[in-house]
């Protein structure tokens, strides 16, 4: 039916453009809300979800209680809901989408499904129906070898999965965490402060369990589930494995303090979950001889706190790299990742410093007549050169050169002007060989 036909039949029809991205986003949000039932949720676009409830049913008073809870929480998201439970994900999907008559139990219901529930291509479905196999029960009674020969073994696999003869796992959206603790509240919590207190309690419980296992966590994720379905995620990380509840609580407080908007409880939080995605070995606390904490731990705690507050990319440490290009000779990596110091090369005795302590990215252009520079203009100031050392030739990375884009060689000069300021200038491109008009740049400042 085209839009014009539809409009002709129902003149007051409301029309909106299809927006698959928004639909996907909506489905993801429902999947987030379903996280409160089980951590293993898979989304089946455009409009389906599969929840793996193994091991979680006892939290909901059995299957009946679960159905009541799901229907209550899905009311906000969708007006039409079809749900079904089965032993395998494909079976549950088939029942939810294709069941039309009630049955006395799961096996009978599955056998009564039409063959369309196998979701084969139209050709195979037509041939099944022409052969007189209209229901899954008919297929199940037949021997499987002739069916496989006629229709392919994919049919038999699919049939086994739907009927529950063979099992498969879903691919959940999030991996199962190493440790997960929950608190549910009959009366939703109304303020963010109480929620933080609960997170503190959960951290204490997590600390006990981690201590028994002799492990610690480097990431802690707290999820606050609002009673209207919205989920708030808070995640903190640390450089060294951690299980001290006071430190975890402080990191969460920093994270909450650094949020752009304060946490909005809405109508209240009815569940709070603390998860440790991965745990790592952590021995009992090491004490230094003079009775203080180990120095590395104290500095690591400071780095954790600052990284949580301003973002992990803003707190950095340097790592050396093996490259002759000066701008690639080192990396500034987030300090929360680097825990062991790196070794830097020592300078040669008797040599003045050959590398600047400030480096510009990108190098700043200057105007200079050719040759070892005698004067140059930078940032609107003319600098008269008193002393130079150079050139130090740093070639391009010829092994990475694209054939029609040769890299340019740089000739570096250490330059000091009459007032004592020391610069690192370079000429970009060899005069004549590589460029007719090579440009000059200042790449760094010396002490």
Partner 1 sequence: MSESLRLVQRRVALIERRRSSAIPQAQSFVTSGHLAIDQVLGGGLMLGRMHEVLADRDNAGSVSGFAALLARLVGGETLWLTEEAAWRQAGALHPAGLAAIGIDPARLIIGVLPDAAAVLRAAVDGLRCPALGSVMIALMGDPRALDLTASRRLALAAETHGVTAILLRLGGQVAPNAAQTRWRVAAAPSAPMAADVPGHPAWDIELMRQRGRPDGGRWRAEWNREQGRICDWGEAGGTALSGAVVPVPVDRPAAARSPLRQAG
Which residues are at the interface with partner 1 (CB under 8 A)? 287, 291-293, 295-296, 298-299, 301-303, 305-306, 309-310, 314-318, 320, 326, 329-330, 332, 335, 341-361, 379, 381, 386-389, 414-416, 418-423, 444-447
Rounded-to-integer distance, Cα 360 and Cα 138, Å = 75
Q: Where are the alpha helices (DSSP H) in 142-191?
A: 144-151, 153-163
Judging by beta carbons within 10 Å of its beta carbon (0-12, 13-18, 19+), is residue 64 exposed, middle or buried? exposed
CB of 377 to partner 1, least distance (A): 13
Least Cβ distance, residue 253 to partner 1 (angstroms)? 13
Least Cα distance to 361 among 396, 333, 326 occurs for: 326
Q: Which is nearer to partner 1, 213 or 309 (CB)?
A: 309
Residue with Cβ nearer partner 1 (28 or 367): 367
- Compute the least distance from the CB of residue 18 to partner 1, in Å: 41
d(CA 107, CA 110): 5
d(CA 436, CA 291): 68
Pick 9 or 419: Cβ nearer partner 1: 419
Q: Which is nearer to partner 1, 76 or 387 (CB)?
A: 387
Report which of 144, 135, 50, 140 is spatially closest to residue 98, judged by C-alpha positions. Answer: 135
Distance of closest approach, residue 425 Cβ to partner 1, in angstroms: 12
Nearer of residues 36 and 247 to partner 1, judged by Cβ: 247
Quote the least distance from Cβ 278 to partner 1, whole Å: 25
φ, ψ dihedrals at 88, nearest 5°:
-125, 155
75, with CB counted inside 10 A (0-12, 13-18, 19+), is: exposed
Shortest Å distance, C-beta 195 to partner 1: 25
DSSP letters, 61-105, are THHHHHHHHHHHHHTTT-S-------SSHHHHHHHHHH--S--SS
Gap between the Cα atoms of 210 and 238, Å rounded: 16
Closest CB to partner 1 among 41 and 336? 336
């Amino acid at each position: 039916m085209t839009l014009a036909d539809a409009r002709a039949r129902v003149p007051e029809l409301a029309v909106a453009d299809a927006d698959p991205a928004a639909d996907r986003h909506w489905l993801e949000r429902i999947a987030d809300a379903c996280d409160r039932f089980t951590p293993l949720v898979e989304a089946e676009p455009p409009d389906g979800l599969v929840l793996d409830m193994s091991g979680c049913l006892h939290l909901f008073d059995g299957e009946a209680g679960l159905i009541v809870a799901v229907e209550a929480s899905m009311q906000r998201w969708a007006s039409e809901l079809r749900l079904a439970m089965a032993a395998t994900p494909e079976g549950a999907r088939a029942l939810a989408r294709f069941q039309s008559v009630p049955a006395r139990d799961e096996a009978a219901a599955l056998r009564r499904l039409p063959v369309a529930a196998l979701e084969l291509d139209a050709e195979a479905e037509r041939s099944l129906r022409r052969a007189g196999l209209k229901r899954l029960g008919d297929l199940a009674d037949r021997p499987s070898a002739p069916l496989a020969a006629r229709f392919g073994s994919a049919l038999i696999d699919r049939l086994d999965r739907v009927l529950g003869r063979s099992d498969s796992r879903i691919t959940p959206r999030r991996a199962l965490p190493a440790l997960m603790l929950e608190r549910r509240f009959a009366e939703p919590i109304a303020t963010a402060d109480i929620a933080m207190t609960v997170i503190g309690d959960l951290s204490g419980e997590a600390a006990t369990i981690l201590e028994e296992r002799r492990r610690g966590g480097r990431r802690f994720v707290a999820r606050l589930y609002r009673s209207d379905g919205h989920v708030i995620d808070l995640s903190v990380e640390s450089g060294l494995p951690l299980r001290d509840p006071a430190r975890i609580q402080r990191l969460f407080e920093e994270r909450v303090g650094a949020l752009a908007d304060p946490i909005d409880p809405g109508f209240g939080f009815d569940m709070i979950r603390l998860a440790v995605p991965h745990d790592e070995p952590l021995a009992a606390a090491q004490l230094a001889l003079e009775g203080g904490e180990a120095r590395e731990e104290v500095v690591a705690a400071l780095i954790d706190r600052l990284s949580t507050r301003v973002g992990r990319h803003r707190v950095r440490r340097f790592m050396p790299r093996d490259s002759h290009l000066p701008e690639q000779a080192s990396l500034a990596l987030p300090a929360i990742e680097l825990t062991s110091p790196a070794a830097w090369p020592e300078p040669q005795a008797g040599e003045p410093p050959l590398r600047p302590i400030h480096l510009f990215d990108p190098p700043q252009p200057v105007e200079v007549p050719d040759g070892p520079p005698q004067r140059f203009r930078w940032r609107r100031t003319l600098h008269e050169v008193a002393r130079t050392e150079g050139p130090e030739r740093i070639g391009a990375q010829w092994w990475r050169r694209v054939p029609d884009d040769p890299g340019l060689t740089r000739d570096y000069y250490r330059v000091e002007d009459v007032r004592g300021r020391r610069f690192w200038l370079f000429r970009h491109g060899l005069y004549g060989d590589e460029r007719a008009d090579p440009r000059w740049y200042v790449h760094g400042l010396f002490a």
